Structure 1
Amino acid sequence: MSSKVSYEKELAFQADRRKATTEFIKIASDLWYDKSIEIVLFKNQVIDRNVSDIIHLHEYAGEFVQKPISIFDSVEILRAINDIALPPSKLDIGKLTYEYHSDDNNFNNVKAFVIDKLKNANEANSIKAKDVVLYGFGRIGRLLARELMSKTGKGNQLRLRAIVVRGTPNTETLEKRASLLRTDSVHGNFMGTVAVDSENKALVINGTTVHIINAQSPESIDYTKYGINDALVIDNTGVYRNKSELSKHLKAKGIGKVLLTAPGREVPNIVHGVNHLNYNPDKTKIYSAASCTTNAISPILKVIEDSLGIKKGHLETIHAYTNDQNLVDNMHGKYRRGRAAGLNMVITETGAGEAVAKALPSLKGKLTSNAIRVPVPNGSLAILNLEIKNQTSLDGVNTILKKYALEGDLVEQIKYSLSKELVSSDIVGTAAPSIYDSKATIVSSNGKNIVLYIWYDNEYGYSHQVMRLAKYISKVRRFTYY
């Protein structure tokens, strides 16, 4: 075959692939906006992605499962999903495509295969939409607002109704808050619209009114005046940390539950996927989503503890600087954090080692921890140096982590990286709180000591863990197929 003929075939294939990808995007969008069925590809979101993004995600998926994941197959399965009656759901098209081509698939017909795989969907409990109030509008608060509004769909899960801020809302402050929501120096532009309604002291986000409320204390607000009832308040201020302080939210009219986006005292500290099922949403009203670092390391530590056993270990987190540090050298309540964040690596403490024990009691007293803040605005790395009980190998560790990333209760939490070139900027915008760097793992010659490198977007990945926990405690989790 001549090189010209071969080249023409390649061009034709690329055109067909891009055309199929366009259909993939349309069906996925229709499923989401018409039926509240969210499609993901091995945990990666596909809504608001372009053609090149979807093609790259399919290439990653094929490399991950070591079997081609074709866009043409994905489209065929999406068509079948669109043709059957399903409740609001979250479905992994990558897993479905992989299973369709597995050796134990006895179906020759795609629609029959999809019906069989999703046969339990209609047994899922019906859900009632939950109003949400963001108490605070900082880094995490704005990311939560973005995610809540971009994933509102038909509004049958979490509905952002209000944001509580300091200072009386006026045209100028509303415009400033709108601008901060529209654009972000780390995470880019918000894929939606944000307008200001000065008369009603509100932001209109994607055409939906979100009230901006000023309050001096949580208990002083009457949310029912805004049509808000039995809401979940997500406190992202960091001001209130213990049970008595957080209980003030429950004294406000219209609030039913509280979720803190920081480590809490005297309240359950939850890492979704690890210990959230230990608490009944019908009986527990106040929760903490722990810290970003705790959410990054706990899923990995659970896998290692359950599979190999942990004798002891040390955690070192190389963490992006935060708003708690100084921009230039100045006085600070903690040693070293007063030095310019953008110019220095700063040794500081982290409570993540002890906090893990709240999610994984078997690790109590087994881990030490410390932190180094470094001059990057986002994207962090946890290094786990562990002495394990059962001997293993590099292939053994990677096989274990890959299995958990592909199936089971931690698929939302663990992303398995195959890249030899991964750096911190690459992981910004990753929804999984734990990104396992399979190419960096070290195993000692005796197989009893391992060093694991866990990347995490300390803002975006953590925000998604907050969202997962919020859905659980609000009882609006849909049928999922991972």
Structure 2
Amino acid sequence: MSQITNYEKEVAEQALTRRATVEFINIVNDLWYDKSIELVLFRNQLVDKRASEVLNLIDYAKEFVAKPITIHDALEIAKAIQQVNLPSSKLDIGKLAYECHLDVDGCKDKIDFVKRQLKDVTEAQDIQPKDVVLYGFGRIGRLLARELMSKMGKGSQLRLRAVVTRGEINQTVLEKRASLLSIDSVHGDFLGTVQVDAENNALIINGTTVTMISANAPEDIDYTAYGIEDALIIDNTGAFRDKEALGRHLQAKGASKVLLTAPGKGVPNIVHGVNHKDHDPDTVDIFSAASCTTNAITPVLKVLEDNYGIIKGHLETIHAYTNDQNLVDNMHKKYRRGRAAALNMVITETGAGKAVAKALPALEGKLTSNAIRVPVPNGSLAVLSLQLHSQVTTDSLNAIMKHNALEGELVEQIQYSLDNELVSSDIIGSTAPSIFDSKATITDGSTIVIYVWYDNEYGYSHQVMRLAKHIAKVRRYTYY
């Protein structure tokens, strides 16, 4: 009888938990669409999430901070945020719930607690929306389009206005572009609507018109003819890599800033969270978001350099195959990359070891690097073998990394994994560029080996978005 009673109690509790989760999700979406207040849970997105996804994130949060955080805690704080007059902002409800557990007496009145913790959010920031043009519509371009349109909200930050491609634009081409945006073999279906407007050479994404422009040269485009002014051009083609070539974008009427989604020459190479504040968007017009691997390793290397000092090291990146490789054995301008990508592990080079120094000058000449392309379509792993100036233990190193994933300037960049079973498919869809695998850390005195996973498409795209908001000066108040 007691087993039956306990089971019935568990069923009743589960129903209450699910009901609270649905109520929480409704508040998250209301805050986002009504007030442009975005709630996240330890940097994990909550907008448009299902109940099961939210509950999994709550479980992660509970283990991450070693506090009994529940969906009911998050719900109470979300209700309090609803009742406080706040401007457009991005708030980590996981951090707020954690701080609530640290200050039980001060958190009895949730509204007073929220007002106290968010006292710096006193008035709305003067943010002017920024028009964005995607120059190129490949893997990164389409992910950026998804993210830009999913996070449009009230349109107070970045506004995707156009996509530039080469070749004719007609009904068939538009339908193919729409299909590629809607359905993705790696990242799944786009959680929105995409329709074709052939008469106006446009895609209607979530009800908003995005003009498709055909051009062979960036300087030939007049964006103002499409109602686009002072635009940020995000170049995803990889065809223009140096300052002179990228400067051609600025010759186009209606363009004011350029962001390259690849390593660039003669322009600032930025890893957001590490060196983005070193270059003022008021005085710099062309930026590079570096590479996916550079964005993955630089945040954790900064933590190690700041806390222990790095003498030297080697980076080996185990990287998903890319469109640059051949599907079957065929000629290629580089050795080995011509072999069938889905059938072979392929040794190739990477410039990430040297590129780190552009964001962290202290590491100039200290890192060697190589790459192995492996038969997975997405999801990569960086293995860092380093010699430090200080003696460390596995526990002390992991503790430093966990602290930086919880507090400080790198909370958006470093995700701290507690998973014993972490594999490459698990990190697909992560918004952080660096997923630190705490269970794989190896230390031997001052010699360490650490493993950093990264979604080389989705995680990198979010770094591009963060940098784009910095360049466009539309970044809202954040509470992390």
Matched, 1:441 2:461: no
Contact 2:18 2:51 in 1 (8 A): yes
Report matched runs for 1:223-238 at 5 Å: 223-238=223-238
* 1:3 Cα offset (Å): 1.4
Identify the match of residue 448 of structure 2 among 442, 447, 450. 450
- SS of the residue corresponding to residue 370 of structure 1 reads strand
Structure 2 match to 1:481: 479
Structure 2 match to 1:39: 39
Report matched runs for 1:389-428 at 5 Å: 389-428=389-428
Matched, 1:101 2:101: yes
Identify the match of residue 461 of structure 1 among 445, 456, 459. 459
Structure 2 match to 1:134: 134
Q: Unpaired runs of 5+ in structure 2?
A: none
| CA offsets 1:12-71 (integer angstroms, 9 cap, x no match) | 110100000000000000000000001100111111111111111100100111111111
Structure 2 match to 1:174: 174
Report matched runs for 1:235-254 at 5 Å: 235-254=235-254
* 1:106 Cα offset (Å): 2.9
Structure 1 match to 2:347: 347
Report matched runs for 1:54-453 at 5 Å: 54-103=54-103, 106-123=106-123, 125-444=125-444, 447-453=445-451
Q: Distance in 2 between matches of 1:75 and 1:103?
A: 18
Contact 1:258 1:286 in 2 (8 A): yes
Give the AA of the match of 2:380: S
Contact 1:124 1:478 in 2 (8 A): no
TM-score by length of 2: 0.99
TM-score by length of 1: 0.99
Contact 1:433 1:462 in 2 (8 A): yes
* 1:123 Cα offset (Å): 4.6
Give percent identity, aligned residues only.
Answer: 69
Q: 1:220 to 1:418 in 2, by over 3 A?
A: same
* 1:400 Cα offset (Å): 0.2
* 1:393 Cα offset (Å): 0.3
Q: 1:460 to 1:288 in 2, by over 3 A?
A: same
- SS of the residue corresponding to residue 233 of structure 2 reads strand
| CA offsets 1:114-141 (integer angstroms, 9 cap, x no match) | 0011111125631000000000000000
Give the AA of the match of 1:179: S
Alpha-carbon RMSD: 0.9
* 1:2 Cα offset (Å): 1.2
Give the AA of the match of 2:407: E
* 1:154 Cα offset (Å): 0.4
Q: Distance in 1 between matches of 2:229 and 2:280?
A: 21
Contact 2:87 2:123 in 1 (8 A): no
- SS of the residue corresponding to residue 48 of structure 2 reads coil
Give the AA of the match of 1:283: T
- SS of the residue corresponding to residue 121 of structure 1 reads coil
Q: Distance in 2 between matches of 1:107 and 1:66?
A: 18
Q: Distance in 2 between matches of 1:129 and 1:393?
A: 47
| CA offsets 1:294-345 (integer angstroms, 9 cap, x no match) | 0000000000000111000000000000000000011101110000000000
Q: Distance in 1 between matches of 2:49 and 2:310?
A: 40
Give the AA of the match of 1:184: D
- SS of the residue corresponding to residue 421 of structure 1 reads coil
Q: Distance in 1 between matches of 2:366 and 2:378?
A: 29
- SS of the residue corresponding to residue 213 of structure 1 reads strand
Structure 1 match to 2:469: 471
- SS of the residue corresponding to residue 141 of structure 1 reads helix
Q: Distance in 2 between matches of 1:124 and 1:243?
A: 36
Contact 1:262 1:289 in 2 (8 A): yes
- SS of the residue corresponding to residue 122 of structure 1 reads coil
Q: Distance in 1 between matches of 2:112 and 2:281?
A: 36
| CA offsets 1:418-474 (integer angstroms, 9 cap, x no match) | 000000000000000000000000001xx2000000000000000000000000010
- SS of the residue corresponding to residue 106 of structure 1 reads helix
After TM superposition, what 4+ stretches of structure 1 lie above 2 angstroms from structure 2? 103-108, 122-125
* 1:108 Cα offset (Å): 2.4
Give the AA of the match of 1:332: H
Q: Distance in 1 between matches of 2:94 and 2:59?
A: 11
Q: 1:107 to 1:22 in 2, by over 3 A?
A: closer
Q: Distance in 2 between matches of 1:57 and 1:433?
A: 18
Q: Distance in 1 between matches of 2:106 and 2:38?
A: 26
Q: Distance in 1 between matches of 2:308 and 2:10?
A: 47
Q: Distance in 2 between matches of 1:232 and 1:296?
A: 24
Give the AA of the match of 1:161: R
Q: Distance in 2 between matches of 1:104 and 1:456?
A: 36
| CA offsets 1:228-252 (integer angstroms, 9 cap, x no match) | 0000000000000000000000000
* 1:84 Cα offset (Å): 1.0
